[in-house]
Chain A
């Protein structure tokens, strides 16, 4: 832990609170005062800086995870339905 005595900004908010707010903080969804407290805490606490960076990495990696590409069980039926409904709609619009 990187806390040092005489750094009141860190004790304004605990590591547990920073960890709790990490996602909202990263996504820019915390109030200004809370944001200031967390930012100040992060400058002096290696544990929290590491934690927030790890949550940020998870957020970014999850979007890139390779997944099995799924396909509809009956794509032919969907295409047929799409063609039928759109044909009717376009006809209605023209009338």
Chain B
């Protein structure tokens, strides 16, 4: 999470003021871990390489799936990525984080492979996403009159829901995973990098060659789709009761 990010539990209107003390941000911790891991990798420690693979392989596969025709090809792309990482480790100059570098290699390879297999791309990957589109369904807002632009159908509070409760429900987890898997590639890429992998906004922009404005438009559209999936799941739960 970004250092300036506002946590979910924080009240917007009654924020508690606490004394400021310097703390390591999450990105500082990640950066320190990477320095240690990189040193171990350069010493040829096999366990360090296994650790690097374990850390990022799943997210690499998920992202590669958005660029290429099927799972088998995605696995090939990621396998090629790891081989390129091994070959390039000696030349890696830490101008970006190790993670950004690895994901950058994968994106490059996946795009290259995707271009060659253009005709076979899954439909969800081909859906074009216009960054000027509204993230939230416009019909949920008043379209005319005094309250134009204000909620006509406001979201209902998820009163007793906590992240733990949502994660404990297999149905909710499936609904969220399904929403993520069916995101168009451009939205899935930002959600996986930023929210799943926790990559800094600047590094995501660097990786995907997009502006920060584009990043937040896409990220919000992706989060909104997952939010809708949770909303639909909870509405279903209420109608059962």
* Residues of chain A whose beta carbon lies under 8 Å from any beta carbon of chain B: 1, 3, 14-17, 19-20, 22-29, 39, 42-43, 45-75, 77-79, 81-83, 85-87, 89-90
Contacts A50-B157, A67-B62 aside, 5 further interface pairs with beta carbons under 8 A come to A16-B138, A20-B134, A28-B5, A54-B227, A90-B44
Partner of B53, one of A61, A64, A72: A72
Is there contact, CB below 8 Å, between A72 and B223?
no
Partner of A50, one of B4, B154, B195: B154
* Residues of chain B whose beta carbon lies under 8 Å from any beta carbon of chain A: 1-8, 12-13, 41-44, 46, 49-50, 53, 57-58, 61-62, 75-76, 78-79, 82-83, 86-87, 89-90, 134-136, 138, 141, 147-151, 154-158, 161, 163, 166-167, 173, 176-177, 180, 191, 195-196, 198, 201, 212, 216, 219-220, 223-224, 226-227, 230-231
Is there contact, CB below 8 Å, between A61 and B176?
yes
**DSSP class of A's interface residues: helix, strand, loop or mixed?**
helix
Is there contact, CB below 8 Å, between A61 and B158?
no
User: How near does chain B come to A64, taking the closest CB pair, in angstroms?
Assistant: 6
A35 to B50, CA, bound (A): 43
Is there contact, CB below 8 Å, between B226 and A27?
no
- Determine the residue in chain B with the shortest Cβ distance to A73: B75
Partner of B223, one of A23, A68, A74, A75: A23
A90 to B230, CA, bound (A): 51
User: How near does chain A come to B26, taking the closest CB pair, in angstroms?
Assistant: 11
